[in-house]
Structures are given as C-alpha cells and as structure tokens.
Structure 1
Amino acid sequence: MSLRLKLAIMFLGVAIIPLLFVNAMIFHNYKDSIEASRISALQDITVYKSDKIEEFFADMRNFMAIAQGAYAIKQNLPVLSRAPYNLEDPQFIAVRKTIDPQLQNMQSIMGLVDIMLVSPDGKIVYSSNLEHKFKEFGKSLSDASSETFEMGSGKIHFSGIFLNRMNHYRPGMLITGPVQDSNGKFIGVIAFEADLELIYKMILDKIGLGETGESLLVKKEGGNVVYLNPLRFDSDATFKKKIPIGAKLAIPAQEAAQGRNGAGITLDYRGEKVIAAWRNIPSMGWGLVAKIDSREAFADVSNLERLAVIILLIVSSLAGIMAYSVAKSISNPIQKLSEGVKMIGAGNLDFRVGTKLKDEIGQLSRAFDKMTGDLKAATASRDFERKRFHEILDALPAYVILLDKDYKVPFANHYFESRFGKSNDRCCFDYLFKRSEPCENCETFKALKTNKPHRWEWLGPDGRNYDIYDFPFTDTDGSTMILEMGIDITEMKTAKAELQKHRDNLEELVKQRTSQLETANEDIRKKVDDLRVVNEELSRFNKAMVDRELRMVELKRQINELCMKSGMPARYRFEEDKRGV
C-alpha cells in the first residue's frame, strides 16, 4: 500500500470517525428520546382513559346509591310488586305518575338508556324508558351472564358488557343494586341500563395514536384474554377474539388483564412490534392498552437515519477529496525523497535530495543531505578501519577464518591462505583434504551444535599441529557462522616432547638416588633398633639394681630400729645424697 493511499485513508478516517461517533450518539439519544416521549404519551393516554372509565363507573355507583335511598322508590316498589301485571291497572298508573318524573329526570341526567325496578321475584315492574315499557314489563331481568339479578340482590353489581338489542345493538351494561324499605327488608332491585357508546368512542378515539395506533379494553376469562371492543385491524374481535395467557403475542393485553401496569416495546395481537402502555382498571377487573406500531413511532428516527447517511456520504466525499489532496501534497515530496534514498542506497553518496520547501518535508530533505555527507565521512572512516583491521588479522601469527553452515570459507586471513591456499568458494573438506563429503568427526561444527566455544587440536594437511578455538558467530546479515582461530603449536609440541624426555631422565635418576637412600636408611633403622634393645636391657638392669639398693636401705633401717628398741646404738648411718637417698 502506497504512502499516499495510507495518508488518504488516515485523513479520511480522522474526518469520518468523529462524524460517525457524533452521528451514532445523536441517533442513539434521539431514538431514546423519541421512545421515552412515545411511551410517555401512551402512558398519558392510558391514564386519561382509565381515569375516565373509573370516573364513569364511580358516578354510576354513586347514582345507584342515591336511587337506593330514594323515598319514592322505597314507597312505591312494593306497590308495583303487588299490583297485577297490567299496564292499564289504575293503581299502576297512579304509581307511575308519582315516580315517572323523578326516574325519567335521573335517566336523562345520567344518560341512561333505562331505569328499571324489579320485584323480589325478578320480574320487571317498572321501566322509565317509554319505548321499553311495553316490551320489558313483566319479563325476567337478565343479561349476558344471567347473574345480574342474583348479584344485584345483595350489593351493587356491574354486569358484563353486552350488545343491547333494545338499543340498536350498541354496547351496554346493567348496573343493579338492592332496595330495602325503612325496616331494612329487601323489596326489590333497581337496574340501570347504561349505554357504553361514549366509553367505546373514547376507547376507539385514535387521537395521538397515528395511523397504526389504537386503544383496547381486555378482560381475563379463565386462562384467556378477551377483547371487549372492536380492534383497528380486526373489527369483529369484540367478545370473540381470545389470546391464551402465556402466549408470545399480545403481551400488553396479557399484562393489563392480569392486573399489571407498564410500558415498553413488545408484540401486539398481530405479532407486530409496537410501543405500548398498559394499565389495570381494578374496579371493573379490566385492562386498558394503548399502542402504536414501532415503525410509525420511529418514523422520525428513520428519517433522521436517512438524513444522517446522506450527510455522511456528502461529508465523506468532500473529506475524501481533501484527504487525497493533502496526502498527495505530502506523499509527492516524500516519493522524490524515496527515489533519492534509493540512489544513495545504491552507493551514490554524492547524490543530493534537498529541496527549497519551507515545511517539514523540506527540512527533512536537507537533513537527509547532511546525513548523506556524514554517512560518506563515516563510510570512509569505516573503510579505513576495516582495512586496518584486515591488516592486523593478516599480521597475526595465527590463522583466522569464518566457516558457514555449508562448509564454505567466506573469509580467511593471509596466514591461512599462505599455508593452505585460497578456497575459491570450495568447501573446506574439498580444498583441504580433497574429500567429496564432510569429515566424519568434524570438531569445528560442535560450536554450532552446542552454541558454545569449543577448543580442540588439529593436525593440518601441512603436517603441522594447531591449537583450534571455535566460536559461534552471527554475521551482519543475521546468518550463523563459525569464527575459528588456529595457532601453530608444532614447535611448542616438539619442545614439550624434549622437555618430557629430560623430565623422564630426571625422574629415573631420582628413582635411583631414592633407592640408595632407602637402602642407607634401612641400615640406619637396623642400628637404631639394636641400640633400642641395648637401652631397654640397661634400663631393666638399672631398675633391678635400684630396687636391690632400696631393699638394703629398708633392711638397715629396720635393724637400726631394733637396736634402738633394745637400747643399743644404731649400727648404720644414712646420708642423704643429691637425689634424696
């Protein structure tokens, strides 16, 4: 790869890498910001809609409590329950005139489809909706779950959602609650027939949800999640579409139906990747989900990504042109300098590469000329030193050679060549011994095998003896060789042999004289032994004489003592000599 291309790539990298890094940071931060913004918006939607739903049913509960305590209902529901199921009955007509204004006004205020009064046996005995009066009077109260009356007899109860055939199949719900007289006795049930169209309109409202977003209500039934409203991509899903809990689809709906709140990127009921927020509606046991396809939510991010790629391509092109120009302005002088270096490397130390440029390249070229001059002087000095070194080697009274691993002699001093001739690129075993292959036991190459100095003795082809020193040697090109020095020791060996001869004669004379001395020494040893025997005899005789003398002295002492005891004078007199005797 040329220097120009390397510089161009380097400059282009310097320009593009920071741009890529900045673009990646901006893109990442923008994506995170968009994701957080979308999730926050969806959470706001779920909070708003769930609060509205909670508020709606809280109002229903409050109105039901008001209706349960209404005096007119407490007073007239027993009458309606006892009256025959005849709309033309005077008693029934009188009661309706009393309670119609109140209940129809409540129906209007609450936006209900109907307010019904139910007898203790479950029969509808009153309907505030005049259209329903003739259709429902005297019938049993029922809804989709058939539990409305039973549950409403004990407490306020919200039925399941159903399609109300009496209200053009709009989504409806029955809210029931027990009615007790002033004595606390159960006298019947109040039933609110609520129209959930407003709630459904709010749920199906797509404001803030774009082209692919939607809100949906779900409910857990057994091990499934049931959808309670039409879906944007499945209008017939109401009460029909079910997703098993634990499935890999509709994750937000499963979470909401199981009473959990949350938000994130996941899969919807279609298996599409979406951004969703989900929330539980605890009062109804429902879940609310707001979602939007991630490809739409991140459309701005995709647009930014495309824009960033276009900008990157434009900047890369401009940076490439600039990098090439700068690289060329740097590489051309360097290329000329390189050509000059080749000339100088070929041996032309008089070639000059200096330019008049004022930049670092110009300074480098002039410095290179100075270096060339210094190199020329150093080369001359080196050649002189090399010549002197060769003269010293040639003057040595020993031979010095270099052997390579191929048994050739690339260098030999004058001493070696004067004795054995020039090798002329022949192997040592060839021109020294006229052999066609290396010697069987070549001592020289042991230095290469052991990588240690080796000393040995060699009888050369000239009949002379040499003391050889071999050393591992690394040449300037890195090749491994052997440096060998041989010293002629023929005269020294002859002198040693003569010296050994004289030494042997001297040793023989020493042996003879030693033998004579040993003989004389043996005679002396015998005389000494004889004298020792005589001395021992004299010692024994002397000891015997001394012992006899001592016994005589002791006997004389005893005689003197006997004389003294008998009153006679001592017969013997003793004088002490110098030894005390």
Structure 2
Amino acid sequence: MFYVYRMVMNRGIFSRLILWFLVISLVPLSSVAYMAYVNGQQHLKKEVTNQLRAIADTRARLIEIYVLERSRDVATLSRMPTLIDAMEKLERAFDQSGIDSPAYTSVEHEVRPFLTYYKEAADYYDLFLISTSGNAIFSVNKGEDLGSNYRTGVYKHSILANVFDKASMLLETQVSDFDYYQATNEPAAFIAAPIIKDGQVIGVVALQVTNREVYALAQNYAGLGQTGEILIGAKINDKAVFMTPVRHDINADFRRRITIGSDRELALQEAVQGTRGEGVVTDYLGEEVLAVWRYQPAFGWGVVVKIDTAEAFSPIMILRTNSFIIAIIAMLLVISAAWLVSRSISKPIRSLTQSARVIAKGDLSHQASVPTTDEIGELAGAFNSMTTQVRDRSEELASANAELLTYQGSLEAQVDTRTAELARANDKVREWGKKLEERVQEQVTQLDRLGRLKGFFSPQLAESILSGGGEELLKTHRREVVVVFLDLCGFTAFTDSFEPEEVMAVLGEYHRVMGQLVVAHEGTLERFAGDGLMIFFNDPVELDNPAESAVKMALAMQQQFVPLRAAWKERGYDLDLSIGIAQGYATLGAIGFEGRWDYACIGSVTNLAARLCDEAKGGQIITNKKALAQIEGMIQTEAQGELMLKGIAKPVQALNVTGFKS
C-alpha cells in the first residue's frame, strides 16, 4: 500500500489531488460496505449450516431406524416355527446327503416358497441359513457360497462369516459393516440372528440387505437447492466408497472412490472414519462446498450433506455486487471533481511534459516554452540547458559508435569463417555416425534372422545358412547318417482317455525335455509327429562319431524321462519312452514349396529306425549291429534276437543298449 502511495505521489499534482479525494470519500464508504458484507455472510452461513445440520441428523437417524427395523425383522424371523422346522430339515438332509442329493432337493423345494416370499416381501437381496458348524445349507439366490463353510472354507474371513460368528456366540442379532464380499464380488452388508430351539442354538439366519431404501434417502434433495447433494459412503480398505448414486453422478454407487488422505471430499473421508463436523471443503468434483457430516455406526457409514458455496452464499454475492457498483459511482464523482480543480493547476506542467516527450523522441533542438516566471518557468530554463548538453554528448557518442561498427565488421568475418569450418567438421561426424549406424543395424538384422532360423532348424543348420553356406546345404545330397526315432508307449490310449488340453500339456513337457537334449548333442530334429520325434546325426554338420553322439543322446533321454514318467504317473498318465536307432545312407535336402520348406531325411534307414522303435518296450533303446559298429567296445547291450520287421525283407539282429562301459 505504501508503494502505491509513493507511486501516485510521484506522478504530480493532478494525481495527488485525485488520491486525497478518493481517500477522504471512499475509505469510510468501503469500511461500511465491508462490515455489512461480513455480517451478512456470517448470518447466512450460520442459517445454511443449521439447515444442512438438520438434514444430516435426519438422514443419519433414518438410516439408524432402517437398521433397527431390519434387525427386528431378522430377530422375528429367527423365532418363527416354520423357519426352525426348515432349519432342522435342511441341516439333516445336508449332513446326510449333501446339497446335490434328492433328499436335500425335496426338502429345499418344500421350504423355498416361504423363504423366497419372505426375502422378496421384505426387500432383501438374499437369505441364508447357516448351521452351527458353519455350513451354508440354504440360499435363496443359490450363489457360489451355497454349501461352503464359514468357519473353515474360502469365505471364513468374509463379513458374513464374521456376523455369523458374533450372532452364534453372543446369541443376539448382529449387523455387519458394509464391506467387500468375495462371493458376489461387490460390497454388501448382512444382518444375522441365532435360531434357538429349546434353549439350544441350532443355526443362524442371515439376510443380505439391499440399498433401495438408502438410495431413496440419499436422493431426497428437499431444502438443498439446485446443487445440494447427500453422500452416503463407507470405508473399504483405504478408500471412502460411495454407497449410493449422487445428484451429479448417477453411477457413483460402488464406483466412485476417494483415497483416504487425498485433498478431495474431505468431509466424506472424515465421516467414514467416525468423526462428525462441518465447514467449507472441496468436494469430489473439485467444487467448493459448505458441508455437514455425520457418522452412522450401524453400517459403519458416513453421511455428508453439502451445497455449493456459490449457491449457498448467492445473496451475499448480490450484496457485494451492489456495494461495488455504489463505490464505483462514488469514485467517478470524486474523480470528476478532482479533475476540475486540478486542471487549472496542472496545465503549465503538461506543457513542459509535452516538450520533454518531443526531446525524448530524439529532437534535441527543441526548446521548452513556458510563459511563467514561477518555479515552473525556472524548471523550463534548466530543462533547456540540459537538452543542449545532451545534444553535445550525443554527437561524441555517434563518432565513437562509427569506430565500433568498423571493428564489429572485422569480427563478424572471422566468426563466419570459423562457423563454416565447424559445419564441415560436423558433416564428417554425421557421415561417420551414419555408416556406424548402418553397420550396427546390419549386425542386429543378422542376429534376428539367426534367432528365427533356430526356431525351425538345428542351431548348426541355421548358422550355416546365415554364414553363406545355406544354399549348398539345402541342395539334395546323399550321406551316411544315424537316425534316432522316439515314441511314447501308451500315448494312443492316453489321448482317448484325457482332455485335449491335458494331452497338449504333456506334449509340451515332453518336447521341452527331449528338445534340450537334441540341441545339447548336436542332433538335427527332422520333425515332430505328436509323440513321435525323428532326429538324425552327421548332417548338415559332419561328426567324427555320429553313432556315439546318437547313443549318448538316447541314454540321456531315458535318464531324463524317469522323473518325467514319475510325475505323470502321479497324475494318472501311464506313459513310457521307447527309442529306435539305425545307421545307413539317406537322401537329405530341402523339400516343400515356395514360402514353406522343411529339411528332410529320406531313405530305408529312417524306416528301420521307426520299426526298431515300434519293437522297443518302455525304457528300451533298440538298435542293430551296424549302428553300433564304431562303438561296439564302448557300450553295454542285451541281445534281443532276430526280429522280422514290417517293410524289411531280412531279419534284423536287434540289441538293447543299456549304457556305456565304465
């Protein structure tokens, strides 16, 4: 304020006169208007707050009455002979036969009409009968919690289990908080009462309440104007959850949530945490509201009654606007009077000011002309003398500036030369960076292609293709190879007895274990055929001793299959692994068509390996002497005699490989 005063005082006589007129007239007027505004605001705020407080207390009381009435309903129902008889019959049928038995169904059909009628007539969401042991033996809605045990089952920590325990232990009607219920996947509240016969508790009846009556309480906006609302919420975990629709969000129930501790809807946060109060807060829409909040302990709910401050204090806004208009009119009158008085005093000063503006624009030859001999005339003379001195100084500065411009031109030429050199160097750096980026991208592409090829070919074949030898390898050629054929014994019966999903899971485990061993022993996987796998050695990469690699892989497969077979056995899968090995010449190369190629091995040696696999029993590795010629002294075998194999003209001397010699 002092700064404003100094600024105005420094502007001249005209401004000072106006300032004092304003101070003399507007300060008292502003004080009176402000006091009237403050008193009116306090009075209206008190009146509106009292109205909101009355509505909040009424709604909280109505909710309490609603809970008391519902509690009496449940207590009355628990003492009805019809309900006691239904409880005994249902529990007897449930304990003897279960809920899916004809006996239970017969009793359930007998008691359902009465219980369903009571549930619908009293407007409940569901009705439960729970045995003393905790079994849910009846539900009108037949939800997924029917048949579960509230003492030992999955819902033992639910709000229904909690209210059941309290009712059966305290022997009186109990009301739960409104909280999340897992069986319906949404918030719920329950009222439960013990069922007593001859002084003994024989069960508990529990009713799940609906929100319709509470919705009606929340949607009664009488006395709340155009923006007023009633919020009913509950604390669930760390959230204040809206229990009912609200005026500005009809879908708010159970969907709109306020994090406890946030800066929105502090009134509801306080209410659901058990406190009561009133004041101006920010609501869930970010609007400033006048609110009154209460805690309703029956359901653990918070009740908030609020109205936008813009609407609540609108009469004060009107009063403030009228006061402002009056102040503006008074200010205009004061300014007009001050202008008339100060004009005769300030005219010579304005003339001198005009001369100063001309000189400020650069006309240093201009001289101020003020035809007075008072202080203002003296000021004009001093002003003219100052102008002459400024003109002389300006000429000196112009000469110095010309010299400076000459030096600046030379400096700019040097800067341009250096800039051009830097631009050329920058171009070279960008060119080197581009070449480096292209080389890195080429390497990344090569690695990506190798990863994709390894998914379809053996690692050796994939690497050969990418290294440039792929075209020769894929051409048809003839080579001596060792072929290994795998088969799951009992797989056909297994697929007939179990679901396709289980079959696919078994094949996934089987292929994963066997596939890792194929890669580890440098074999080439020719194809998958369900449970059948064909692997060959010595192509596309030649090996020093392909028979040794094939036998080592087969023995490792039988060893790795032992824990796999045991795990399957526990699941009821009776499967075993048989392996056949043969050695001979075959034709190899790419077969297929444009867009789809396979690397194949064709010849009688593949048929022989498949036939030997067919003859093998679970856990055996059957081969012929030719395949073992190079490693005969290294392995242990069991003679299997001569076998006549389908498609093979001569008998085959078969051997079962049991391991390598130590």
Name which one, 1 or 2, has greater alpha-carbon Rg.
Answer: 1
TM range (shorter): 0.3 to 0.5
TM-score (norm 2): 0.41
TM-score (norm 1): 0.46
